[in-house]
Structure 1
Amino acid sequence: MKVFLSPAKNMRAAAAALPDMTAPRYLQQAEALAAALRAKAPFELESILQTSPAIALRAAALYQDWTDAGGVPAILAYDGLAYKYLEAETLTAAELRFAQDSLRLFSAFYGPLRPLDAIRPYRLELAHRLDGHSLYEFWGRAFYDDLFGAGEAVVNLASNEYSKAVRRYLQTGDRMVTCEFLTYRKGKLRCLPTMAKMARGRMTRYILQNRIESPEQLTLFDWNDFRYEQSLSDNHTLTFIVSV
């Protein structure tokens, strides 16, 4: 079973070193993106990245300094809510080895990352366009092929922006199981982004610590009052709900 998770906008420039760090497998593509972004002025990056002048200026500095050498493990590099609840810094060596085989972290800049791939900070999302071209087009089937090459079931713990890079290539016989985390609010089930991100991170941790090998095993996940709801689930969706 393979699992994939979205990246986070915020990143750490430094983190604890981990044994057996690896090089990202799509460095040629990352170098091409870095060259294109390095050539942009900060005001151009402001438009491309759809962000503030201050963040665009910092992004410009990141690309001017970017190199394919060094970096920190991808699983420690991201600093969003899902990663805070994944708590990768407390995983054991055995759990990290399992993660290296089963977990993929999606990056608009580096492509499909293994947890121990060494990366440097960047600012780029799949929804962005570069020189008039979609980054979905740039990466093509890379995310899909990385996940489905071995014919295993795939668990989707990513946002729509990143799962879209896989969903568009799904074929008959592929099994991608999306985990949905819903909250009862004012009598209706809603996906609350903050709660969902936290639950995705914790679900990822649960998979790694328990060496989960099939989506069916995830029905036992029980965290922060999120519990599996069979009536809202099927072969391609596992729904977990919580009442507040």
Structure 2
Amino acid sequence: MERYVGRVAMVTGASSGIGAAVARALLQRGVTVVGVDLRPDRMKEWQLNDFTGQLHPLYGDVSDEESILSVFKWIADTLGGVDILVNCAGLCRNCSLISAPTSDWKLMLDVNLLGLSICTREAVQDMFKRGVDDGFIVHICSIAGHVPIHDTEYSMYYASKVAVKALLEGLRKDLVARKSNIRVGQVCPAMVRTEIFNQLTGLPDDFWEGIFLEPEDIAEAVIFMLSQHPRVQVHDIIIRATGSDI
């Protein structure tokens, strides 16, 4: 991680869950972190005494292109540009393919796919413009991108994560074709104890008594990915909780 000390990472969905854990892990290793979220004030409450990196909490709505572009402009004007992008922002909703309103589908796809893609495009273009050839793009995907749908209420969510996996491979090949050494990768966890489940209905009463990963487990996988020698591109990490049947 020494090559990234003092450099700039943008983390979306940074105020809670996986995004917060990733932001903290980067700060602990001396990276300057722009934490982008709808609730940036939550990051201002963090205790940062033991962190060597600088935190910049910033409002940003990844479902809104203009909001994303304003974030990148602020980073360019204030910090010079983005060297690492970690796409953590994501939504999961009960979205039946037969009965769910289009607005629910659209919101989930705007965040999980289009927002992720716009952030990725802007970060890569910024790296190209500045001649950054050792940047890194990380998508927080899901085991849903690898396994069959277990509940039709989440078909659109699964579809979004399969698409994230396809987009990552497309990005990798595009960078190879351009002879760029910018690396890309994704982390695909099973169930993680985060707020993403708070918006779901119909969960069993004992849901939170199940076996979960913790956000810090996913953050450690991101650090592992970033810490590899420049010749090594860890493209996909699947993480399951020990004892879980998912």
Q: So what's the TM-score if we normalise by structure 2?
A: 0.35
Q: So what's the TM-score if we normalise by structure 1?
A: 0.35
The structure number with the bigger radius of gyration is 1
More strand by share: 1
Instruction: Compare relative contact order (CA 8 Å, sep 6+) and give the higher one, 1 or 2.
Output: 1
